[in-house]
Amino acid sequence: MKKYLSYVAAAVLGLSVMGCNDKSDNKSAVKNSENYPNQTITIVVPFGAGGDTDFHARNLAAYLEKELGTKIIVNNVSGANGNAGMRQVLRAKPDGYTALFFHESMLTNKVVGISTQAHEELAPVAATIVDNSYVIAVNAKSGMKNLTDLINKAKENPGNLLYASSVGGYSYYLGRVLEELAGIDFNIVDAGGGTDRNAALLAGKIDINVNPYGVMKSYFDSKDFLPLAVINKNRNALFPDVPTAKEQGIDWEAERYYFLSFPKGTDEAIVNKMANAMKVVTENPEFRKKTEEAYSVSPTFVGTQALKEHLDKSLAEFEKNKNLVNN
């Protein structure tokens, strides 16, 4: 009997200790979120330095430092169309001090099998850019002046026009959508990231490039490249002379969200604090001007819940059209 009572006492004591630990953990989490941030934050950009993703992340970090009152460093981890950097953040401690700055290629990577995970295995925070500035461009020496010229040339030379993309990337998906809409057939080739594709188009090694306007802006300014159409329902106020694809008979639209995520399990209070800081930065006139001048796109804040809903919807759309995403 005494032995039985000793077991019961031990069990009760164990439950009490467990209860104390739970309360202690909760208090610790609250304290951490209240004091956040109190050390350096690292934002991982899953591409090399110098591109649009890198610019938007570094621009955001510079203004977030002032808003949050802490140092923020940007770490470029390239490879596997962004998946190498994403894996690093997936493995990081969910304490709010390691974050990922990425875009929809995270989703297409999963659909094509480059990655087995996407936003559902992270804690999305907010988006600062909804890039609706995608344009389709050719070398100015190509002789093509508009989207109709390109489509006609593609029909005359099925499978011969070289369309540049990145394996598993959003640019590949856009090219396949255009093929379906226009009834044409490109030779879609992997030509690397935006900078590499620009160099290839300038050298005449490819025929067609699709990128945000700002990625090719210097080539448009120098008259080396010609934008045939903006891939959106409306003309862009920052480059209003470029007609839409819809104006030229093709109902073709593209938007890409650039957003920040923490590792899954990050305290909701920390997620909210970062999202609120990002909202303030996005509304900063200086930040907006710098973004527009550099990449011809206006910052747009998208909060946590709306961002999750967009990513869920986009992933479902990509999976539904897997034949247009997967080569």
**Cα separation values, 202 from 107, 209, 273, Å:** 30, 10, 44
Give the pLDDT confidence score for residue 196 in this predicted structure.
87
Give the pLDDT confidence score for residue 33 in this predicted structure.
78
Q: Which residues pair with 225 in a beta bridge?
A: 139
Class of residue 45 by CB neighbours under 10 A (exposed 0-12, middle 13-18, buried 19+): buried
For residue 240, whether the previous peptide bond is cis, meaning omega lies within 30 degrees of 0, is no
Pick from 304, 268, 300: nearest CA to 26: 268
Is residue 262 helix, strand or coil? strand
Give the pLDDT confidence score for residue 7 in this predicted structure.
36
Give the pLDDT confidence score for residue 166 in this predicted structure.
78
Determine contact, residues 34/65, Cβ cutoff 8 Å.
Answer: no
Give the span between the Cα atoms of 172 and 175, in whole angstroms. Answer: 5
Pick from 131, 137, 147: nearest CA to 251: 147
Tokens of 79: 């490879």
pTM: 0.85
Q: What share of the chain is helix, strand, coil (3-state, %, to 5)?
A: 50, 20, 30
Strands (E) in the chain, as ranges, are 41-45, 72-76, 98-102, 122-131, 134-139, 162-165, 187-190, 209-212, 225-230, 256-263, 299-302
Sole residue written with tokens 């998208």: 302
Give the pLDDT confidence score for residue 170 in this predicted structure.
87
**Cβ-based neighbours of 303, under 8 Å, separated by 6 or more:** 126, 275, 279
Is residue 3 helix, strand or coil? helix
Tokens of 207: 């025929």
Give the pLDDT confidence score for residue 4 in this predicted structure.
34
Tokens of 34: 């209240």
Return averaged pLDDT per consecutive 10 residues of the chain, 327 residues in all.
Answer: 37 40 48 86 95 95 97 95 95 98 94 93 98 96 97 96 85 93 95 87 96 94 98 94 96 95 98 98 98 95 98 95 83
Domains of the chain, CATH where assigned: 40-131+255-325 (3.40.190.150), 134-248 (3.40.190.10)
